[in-house]
Amino acid sequence: MLKKVLLIVIIIVYSCEKSSNSIIADIVITNARVYTLSWDDPSLDGIPAQNAPYENGVWQPDAEAIAIKDRLIQFVGTNDEIQNYIGENTKIIDANNALVVPGLIESHGHVQEIGEKEEAVNLLNLSAKDIIDVIYKRSLEIPEGEWIVGSGWDEAVFANDYPDMLELSAKVPNHPVVLNGLRGFGAMGNQLAFEKAGITNKTEATDGGEILKDDNGNLIYVLLNQAKNLLNNKVPEKSFEQKSRMMMYGLDELKSLGFTTAHHAGVIGKHMEVYEDLQSKDQLPIRIQAFVAARMFNIDLVNKWLEKGPTTNDTSFLQVKTFKAYYDGSLGSRGANFIEDYSDMPGQKGVSSTDYGFHPDLIKKAMDAGFQLAIHAIGDKGNRDVLDFYENYFKENPQSKALRHRIEHAQIVHPDDFKRFGELNIVASVEPGHAVEDMPWAIDRVGEERAKGGYAWRTLRKNNVTVIFNADYTGTDPSFFYGAYCAITKQKKDDDKQWFPEQTFTPEETLRAYTIWAAYASKQEHLTGTIEKGKWADLTFMDMDVLNVGNTNPNQLLNGQILKTMVNGKVVYEK
Ligand SMILES: [Zn+2]
């Protein structure tokens, strides 16, 4: 008898202790309008699942409160239910009716470029004449001999008629000048910069590039594709502090835009050093998936990671599990590779493969070592070849298919190839901003018929493909609200023309492409991407109900604002 009583007492004491210790949260969020995204995926046509909180065309947030313990989501429910989790030391965050969604994931961008652009001369939307004026003015402000680096001229706009670099050379003779294109596919410079870089009209372009010359074989001081590195590699190195500062600038910008994870597509040695330093000091404000650039000039970093293998500790803020490779050029500069000629330039099909710095053996080694691949492909031939490459590799290595390899941009896909993305388990990583910004000239490049396979995310979805969204910043605006607006409307800002409306995404699909589907692309769907018990406390607070506004008044999306960003249970940004 005594034994029995003792046992009961022990059980009671044990369970009391359990409730007092383990149920009390570190942080509780109340008065929120939460979309957990924990319901099923919509149909391939975008129709919300049976169990979605959606009725008569209206979305209803499916929770009000979230408890967080040990940096993980502990409980999701109502304001009443959450009271049980509040103890003396629980920090309470009153969300004040904000919309709370799973932490946003930006799945393809170039973090340091945000800082570099901030410090560089901005050429965005300038005319050829204004470009020369701006550089001239800058040359009056800084000591002779110091490099002037500008960026943002649009390769597509100037593809037929580049600004006169001879005029620039005459006006700015004593400062080396490098002017990088908006999309990373071209660079221009003045005479002094070309001299310092040792580029003459005899220099051969390597690794898939072009040095443009006039009819007499003289330099016009314009470099296309990989030839831009001949000039950019000669710009004096920034100090470690400068590089760190630029990376932090980018990370701070991303956290203020609500991103809790960013995929950095193409990290080279000097950037990895910065990341490793920030990681060792616990100073990364958001999580980073660093994709190692599979470039010959980056071979030291490539070899280091081939040896090390992919990151195995999921909780590390710095993840290196992916290699980035480059198959063809861009559409704007007519470098993307097509099966047939460009519609606006007969005889031109673009450049790809080994001509473009694609190194199949190196990439196979990375895949052998267990890395995911993210391969840039834009033209229909580029996409087809990359699908062939994956297919052939999987024949020998079927287990690699489970790594969810990616194609970056997947811009123009041949009608026969959409189903292959699904069959090969390839994730399509695409840019809503480009889809509307490129459209006017994209149709010139490829014609109406091929354009139907352009930015065709609905067709990809219908073929069971995971589609993830990003901005390839600084190519376009990384704002989630801007991306969502473009994906849902397929319209430019302040423009009624809708480009291929049959390819738009629903607001729910858009939010998933920035959260759970992007988490899936990194094999982290069990850790993040929805708001569910046991997942990381990565949350984004905003002032707009994007699911309903996206349905009823998508123009309003452009006014949305991020209010708070929480990473790993810590508020890293607050408006
Ligand atoms: Zn990119």
**Average pLDDT for residues 258-285, to the nearest whole number?**
97
Q: How far is the CA of 409 from the centre of ligand 1 (A)?
A: 9
The residues with which 99 forms a beta bridge, in sequence order, are: 33, 542
User: Separation of 233 CA from ligand 1 center, angstroms?
Assistant: 18
| 437 within a domain of the structure (yes/no) | no
State in Å: Cα 476 to ligand 1 middle.
10
Distance CA 369, CA 372 (A): 9
Mean pLDDT of 473-478: 94
Mean pLDDT computed over 32-47: 98
State the Cα angle at 266 between 464 and 560, rounded to 5°: 65
> Do 31 and 118 belong together in one domain?
no
What pLDDT sits at residue 117?
82
Residues 91, 116, single domain; the answer is no
Task: Say what the pLDDT of residue 6 is.
Answer: 53
C-alpha 556/C-alpha 54 separation (Å) is: 21
Q: How many domains does the chain have?
A: 2
C-alpha 470 – ligand 1 centre gap (Å): 10
**Considering the domain boundaries, does residue 118 fall inside one?**
yes
**19 — pLDDT class (breaks 50, 70, 90):** very low
The string of pLDDT tens digits covering residues 96-155 is 999 999 999 999 999 999 988 877 788 999 999 999 999 999 899 877 888 999 999 999
Matching residue, tokens 């005899």: 202
CB neighbour list of residue 51: distance below 8 Å, 6 or more residues apart: 39, 40
The answer to whether residue 59 is domain-embedded is: yes
Number of Cα atoms under 13 Å in the Cβ half of residue 263? 32
Give the model's pLDDT for residue 159. Answer: 86
25 with 121, same domain: the answer is no
Q: Is the pLDDT of residue 14 over 80?
A: no
* pLDDT at position 15 over 50: no
| 122 shares a domain with 87 | no
SS3 of 480-500: HHHHHHHHHHCECCCCCCECC
Q: What order do you get walking across the sheet with 287-293 strand by strand?
A: 104-109, 259-267, 287-293, 318-326, 372-377, 406-409, 427-430, 467-469
Which domain-ending residue is among 214, 232, 250? 232
* 83, 16: one domain: yes
Residue 188 included in any domain = yes
CA of 49 to the centre of ligand 1 (A): 33
Distance (angstroms) between ligand 1 centre and the Cα of 266 equals 7
Distance 248 CA to ligand 1 centre (A): 19
Ligand 1 centroid – CA 184 distance (Å): 8
Residue 227: the pLDDT is 93
**pLDDT on residue 17:** 43
Examine residue 491 and state whether it is found in any structural domain, yes or no. Answer: no
CA pair distance 500, 503, nearest whole angstrom: 6
Same domain, 126 and 220: yes
Residue 121 and residue 187 share a domain: yes
Helix (H), strand (E) at residue 387: helix 380-396
Q: What is the DSSP string of 170-230?
A: HH--SS-EEEEETTSSEEEE-HHHHHHTT--TTPPP-SSEEEEE-TTS-EEEEEEETTHHH
Q: Specify the DSSP class assigned to residue 328.
A: B
pLDDT mean over 273-285: 98
pLDDT above 70 coverage of the chain, percent: 96
- Whole-number pLDDT of residue 18: 42
Task: Report how far ligand 1's centroid is from the alpha carbon of 80 (Å).
Answer: 46
412 found inside a domain = no
- Whether 34 shows a pLDDT value over 90: the answer reads yes
Domain identity same for 92 and 119: no
| CB of 472 closer than 8 Å to CB of 432 | no
Please report which confidence band the pLDDT of residue 177 belongs to, taking 50, 70 and 90 as the band edges: very high
Q: Where are the alpha helices (DSSP H) in 262-353?
A: 269-280, 299-308
Residues with CB under 5 A from ligand 1 (ion): 265, 472
Percent of the chain with pLDDT over 90: 86
Tell if the pTM clears 0.85, that is, is over it. no
Question: Both tokens of residue 146?
Answer: 């110091």
- Residue whose token pair is 């680096």: 149
SS3 of 557, please?
helix
What is the 109 CA–ligand 1 centroid distance (Å)? Answer: 6
Q: Find the domain containing 535 and state its range.
A: 1-97+530-575
| Overall average pLDDT of the 314-340 stretch | 95
Q: How confident is the model at residue 8 (pLDDT cuts 50, 70, 90)?
A: low
* Domain match, 20 and 79 both: yes
| Residue 191: CATH number of its domain | 3.10.310.70
- Of 54-58, 181-185, 471-475, the range with the lowest mean pLDDT is 181-185
Domain-located, residue 153: yes
Mean pLDDT across 383-402: 98
Give 91 Cα–ligand 1 centroid separation in angstroms: 40
- The one-letter amino acid code at 363 reads I
Residue 355 pLDDT grade (very low, low, confident, very high; cuts 50, 70, 90): confident
- Mean pLDDT calculated for residue range 415-427: 98
Q: Which of 176, 107, 187 lies closest to 152 in space, CA to CA? A: 187
Over residues 70-112, the pLDDT tens digits come to 999 999 999 999 999 999 999 999 999 999 999 999 999 999 9
Q: Give the pLDDT score at 440.
A: 84
User: 82 CA to middle of ligand 1, Å?
Assistant: 42
What residues have CB less than 8 Å from 509, skipping those under 6 apart?
Answer: 42, 46, 461, 467, 487
Looking at the structure, tell me whether residues 135 and 51 fall in a common domain: no
pLDDT band at 5 (very low <50, low <70, confident <90, very high): low
> Which residues have CB under 8 Å from 435's CB, separation 6+?
454, 455, 486, 487, 490, 499
Confidence of residue 357 (pLDDT cuts 50, 70, 90): confident
Closest CA to 65 of 402, 535, 531: 531
Judge if 116 and 217 occupy the same domain: yes
The confidence band for 239, taking pLDDT boundaries of 50, 70 and 90, is: confident
Q: Which two tokens stand for residue 264?
A: 């950095």
Residue 21's pLDDT band, with cuts at 50, 70 and 90, is: low
**Nearest one of 312, 260, 261, 321 to 290, comparing CA atoms:** 321
pLDDT of residue 260 exceeding 60, the answer is yes
C-alpha–C-alpha distance, residues 367 and 321, integer Å: 10
Q: What is the Å distance from ligand 1's center to 408 Cα?
A: 8
Q: What is the mean pLDDT of residues 498-520?
A: 96
> Considering the domain boundaries, does residue 27 fall inside one?
yes
| Mean pLDDT, residues 178-184 taken together | 93
> What single-letter DSSP state applies at residue 536?
B
Res 2 pLDDT > 70: no
Ligand 1 centre and the CA of 453: distance in Å? 21
Strands 539-542 and 562-567, by their bridges, are: antiparallel
With beta carbons less than 8 A apart as the criterion, state whether 277 and 145 touch.
no
pLDDT for 118: 76
Averaged confidence pLDDT in the chain: 93
Q: Which of left, alpha, beta for 49 (phi over 0: left; psi -120 to 50: alpha)?
A: beta
Please give the distance, rounded to the nearest whole angstrom, from the Cα atom of residue 110 to the centre of ligand 1. 6
Domain termination residue (choose one: 200, 232, 264): 232
DSSP 426-478: PEEEE-HHHHHHSHHHHHHHHHHHHHTTBS-HHHHHHTT--EEE--TBTTS--
List of E strands, 343-409: 372-377, 406-409
CA 157 to centroid of ligand 1, rounded, Å:
19
- Ligand 1 centroid vs 1 CA: distance in angstroms? 73
Same domain? For 89 and 117 the reply is no
CATH of the domain at 570: 2.30.40.10
Tell me the range of 5-9, 163-167, 443-447, 459-463 where mean pLDDT is highest: 459-463
- State the pLDDT confidence band at 351, using cuts at 50, 70 and 90: confident
Domain stop point among 203, 232, 261: 232
